Amino acid sequence: MPGELHTVLCERLGCRFPIVQTAMGWVADARLVAATCNAGGFGFFAGATAVPGDVENQILAIKRLTEKPFGVNFHMFQPNAEEVIAAVIRHKVRAVSYGRGPDAKTVRRLRDAGVVCMPTVGALKHAVKAVELGADIVTIQGSEGGGHTGAVPTTILLPQVLDAVRVPVVAAGGMFDGRGLAAALSYGAAGIAMGTRFLMTTDSPVPRSALDRYLATKDPTVIRVTTAVDGLPQRFIENDAIRRLESMSLPSRLAMSARYAREWGRQAGLGPLGIARLGLKVLASGETSFAETVMAPNLPALVQRGVVQGDPDHGLLPSGQVAAVIDRLESCGELIERIVREARERLVATARLVEAQ
C-alpha cells in the first residue's frame, strides 16, 4: 500500500515493517515475540536463556500464537547450543541472532538450511568479521543500548559499519520512536532493533514491580555501564545491587559467582565437571579473560532476580538509556503503529525540505 515503510529487511525477514524486537534474556518469551510479529514487526525469542530441553516447546508455543515468521537467538557457549540450532533448522525458523560465535561452519550450516544469520555487534571490527563469517544482516548496537554494550554511540557506529560492509545493517541502541526509525533509514540502515522499548510494553513478561522502576527512572545518566557483574561492560539501571557489587572485592565477587555457578549447573543439568568443561571452552575461545569466565554466572542469577522475580532492589535491571524517556506502557501493536506513523511523518517532512529547494 502507498506509504508503507518497506525495506530489504522486510523482504529478508518476512515482516511488514522494518522494526525488530531483540532477544532479551528471560524477557523475549513466546508471548512477546508473537505480539511483535502479529503487529508487523519481527521478534526474536531468547533462545540463549532457554531451559535445556525446552527450546522446541517454546518454538511450538510461538507458532501457536502467530503465523508470522520469527527468529531465535543463541550463543555457542550455552550448554544447549546444539539443541537450539537443531530446533531452528527442524522448524524452519526464519532467522537467528547471536553475539558470541558461531564459527563459519555453523553459519554455513544455518544458511544452507535457509536460516537468515543476523548477529549483533558493538564494534566496527566485529561487524566486518561477522560478514566474513557469512552473516546475511548485521545489527549494530551503539553504547546507549542495554545489557552488554560497546563504547561507540549509534550515531558513530552506524555510518562506520554502513561504509564497511555490503549487507543490510540494522540500527540498535537509543531507538524508541518513529524519529529514530526515520533517522536510521536516512543514514542508510535497513531498519531498527529495540530491546528496552519492547521490554516496557504491556506484552512484556516483566513483573509490574520491575516495570515501575523502569518507568520511574527519568535520568539517563543513572542507566549506566558497569563491569562489576561479570567483568564485561554492561548497562543497567543503577540500584542497590549494582552499588553492592561495585563495593565488593574481586575475590568476593568470584566466591559469589562460584555459588551461582553451582545453582545454574543444577538447573542446566551440569555437574561440576560439566561446568568446568564449559568454562574451559569459553576461556579457550579467547573472547573472555579468566576472571570474566569465572564471574559469568553472576549475570543470569541477578538478572532473573530483577526481571523474572520482579525484585528491582536486589536484582539487576538491564536497560538502554531510552528507558529514561519512556513514560508509559503500550501494547506491541500500539507501539509499532505509532512508530511507523511518526516515521512516515518525519520522512515526509524531510522530503519536503528537499522539494522546497
Kindly list the structural domains of the chain, giving each domain's residue range(s) and its CATH number in brackets, ordered by start: 8-204+329-355 (3.20.20.70), 216-321 (no CATH)
Instruction: Kindly tell me the sign of the dihedral angle through the C-alpha atoms of 179, 180, 181, 185.
Output: positive
- CA dihedral angle for residue 3, residue 4, residue 7, residue 12, rounded to 10 degrees: -160
Contacts of 185 (CB under 8 A, 6+ apart): 5, 7, 18, 191, 343, 347
> Beta 223-226 vs 234-237: how paired, if at all?
antiparallel
CB 23 within 8 A of CB 45: yes
For the record, the C-alpha cell of 351 comes out as 522530503
pLDDT digits (tens, 9 = 90+) for 237-291: 999 999 998 998 877 767 776 666 556 556 555 555 554 454 444 444 445 443 4
Grid coordinates belonging to 269: 543439568
> Which amino acid appears at position 223 of this protein?
I
| Share of residues in the chain with pLDDT > 90 (%) | 78
**Which pLDDT does position 209 carry in this prediction?**
98
Mean pLDDT (whole number) for 49-71? 97
Query: Are the beta carbons of 278 and 270 closer than 8 angstroms?
Result: yes
Average pLDDT of the residues of the chain: 90
What would the mean pLDDT of 313-328 be, rounded to a whole number? 97
Q: Distances from the Cα of 12 to the Cαs of 63, 106, 114, in angstroms?
A: 19, 20, 11
| Residues with Cβ within 8 Å of residue 290, at least 6 apart in sequence | 283
pLDDT of residue 95 exceeding 60? yes
